[in-house]
Structure 1
Amino acid sequence: MRETNIRTLYDVQQVLKKFGIYVHVGQRIWDIELMAIELDRLYQQEVIDQATFVTCKLVLNREHKYEEQGVKNNDSRSQATGD
């Protein structure tokens, strides 16, 4: 299965949805981590091709870094304001 135009987290969700995989754990960063695990399994079982796998993983890595930085920024703001 070859997917094209995978650029966003939503696009990765749509790839997983085609296999009946719906991820909603409660926190976005946890969702991203679980989606990465599910993609690993699909690739290991040769259900998705390498290009789709790599593209999805790159999107997830980018989104994970974005979320980590958001958490760090929120923590530093809380500490600065005494929250």
Structure 2
Amino acid sequence: MKTIYEIQQLLKRFGTFIYIGDRMADLELMETEIKELYSSQLIETADFQSAIMLLRHEIRLEREKRQAETR
């Protein structure tokens, strides 16, 4: 997986639609849902790993953005 959109499409296949309106909350909830799917053995290890890496990267970028805005 290379984009957040691809992760959203993966979650959509399992009936999970995530939109809270806060990007950070959306990303964190997606991470939780991906972990649940993996622990339930519904997604492959490669999909899990790439999704988690991408989500953590995006979460880190969002945190940096928010910190820069508060300065």
Give the equivalent residue in structure 2 for 1:39.
Answer: 34
CA distance in 1, matches of 2:2, 2:44: 17
Segments of structure 2 that go 5 or more residues without pairing to the other structure are none
Segments of structure 1 that go 5 or more residues without pairing to the other structure are 1-5, 77-83
Larger Rg: 1
CA distance in 1, matches of 2:19, 2:2: 20
The counterpart of 1:10, out of the listed 1, 5, 13, is 5
CA distance in 2, matches of 1:9, 1:41: 17
SS class of match (1:24): coil
Give the equivalent residue in structure 1 for 2:45.
Answer: 50
- Equivalenced residue count is 71
What is the percentage of aligned positions where both structures have the same residue?
32
1:3-61 CA-to-partner distances (Å, cap 9, x unmatched) read xxx11111111111111100011200000000000001100100001100000001101
* Superposed structure 1 runs of 4+ greater than 6 Å apart: none
Q: Aligned partner of 1:27: which letter? A: D
TM-score (norm 1): 0.83
Higher helix share: 2
Please give the root-mean-square deviation of Cα atoms over the aligned residues, in Å. 0.6
